[in-house]
Amino acid sequence: MSHINLSGIFPPLPTSFDKYENLLPEKIKQNIARLSEFDLSGFLILGSNGEQVMLSDREKSEAIAAARAALPDGRLLLAGTGGQSTRETIALTRDAAAEGADAVLVLNPFYFKSLMTHEALVKHYLDVADASTVPVIVYNMPGNTGLDMTPAMVIEMASHPNIIGMKESGGNVAKMGEVLLRAKPGFQVLAGGAGFLLPALATGAVGGILALANIAPSECIRIFRAFKERDMTNAMRLQHMMIPLNAAVTARWGVPALKAAMDYLGLYGGPARKPLLPLNDEVGRQLINLITESGITKFN
């Protein structure tokens, strides 16, 4: 497999729905066009913020195709393809590659938690990597799956030539460091949250897949660049400013808050799929206050 450079900042795009929760491919394209005005390395479609688990297989293919059609030259398209079975994950991965994904982000199976042993998860990822025609990125998201994959698991997965990196959304920078120390040379780690982007970069991460980059792309890029330029004072200042808003649109209020923030700032957020509920008026006001306090401005 050809090597893909994952360095930089990637927004995990929310999936656009109308008020009846029908897929809106054109709104996905519009958001990519607006966000592509910033120096982002690419986009993730169908991640956790993309409500991947809420979509049918057909909708997943349509969303990936829409993102591919809107993607400017020189940007990467990552697609989430994790399923509860190896068979399903391989099928989703092949569909994503056929629709133009450059690499796939694979969330681990989690329903049968007690049976998701080291051996079971490693074999799952190796089988997916064997079957995939595009590079595979391991996705660790304990907040959603209830499973926190160990460094030993990821290091063994990384031995496969088609597994090129991991997205670590648990915020465990010590884990990132251990993986980078012991995994094959060139294995790439991405921060899965803007709240710990700078510590992750300092540990050796090459960038981040960040929900906050959907609404604050400039600020996320500036943290990344300040670190690269060894301007740690500015990097820390920016990192500290982004922590409260990032928490609001991730762990605190989740996808509905991220979509509401996008609507407020001039992108298309739209509704989340039920059972996810819209924000109430009080939470909406708190969210706008956090956006204002963070210095985020509306899109032109």
Residues annotated as catalytic are 167
Collapsing DSSP to helix, strand or coil, 76 comes out as: strand
In 68-187, at which residue ranges do the beta strands (DSSP E only) sit? 76-80, 103-107, 136-140, 163-168
Dist CA 299 CA 35 (whole Å): 9
Does 142 sit behind a cis peptide bond, omega within 30 degrees of 0 on the bond before it?
no
Measuring CA to CA, how many Å separate 70 from each of 7, 138, 212, 274?
A: 21, 25, 21, 27
Q: Are 166 and 139 in contact (CB under 8 A)?
A: yes
Q: How many CB atoms lie within 10 A of CB 134?
A: 24
Collapsing DSSP to helix, strand or coil, 217 comes out as: helix
Cα three-residue angle 42-4-205, rounded to 5 degrees: 75
Select from 53, 18, 57, 11 the least CA-distant residue to 34: 11
Helices (H), ranges, 139-216: 142-145, 151-157, 173-182, 197-203
Q: Are 155 and 179 in contact (CB under 8 A)?
A: yes
Collapsing DSSP to helix, strand or coil, 55 comes out as: coil
Q: Are 182 and 155 in contact (CB under 8 A)?
A: yes
Q: Are 34 and 207 in contact (CB under 8 A)?
A: no
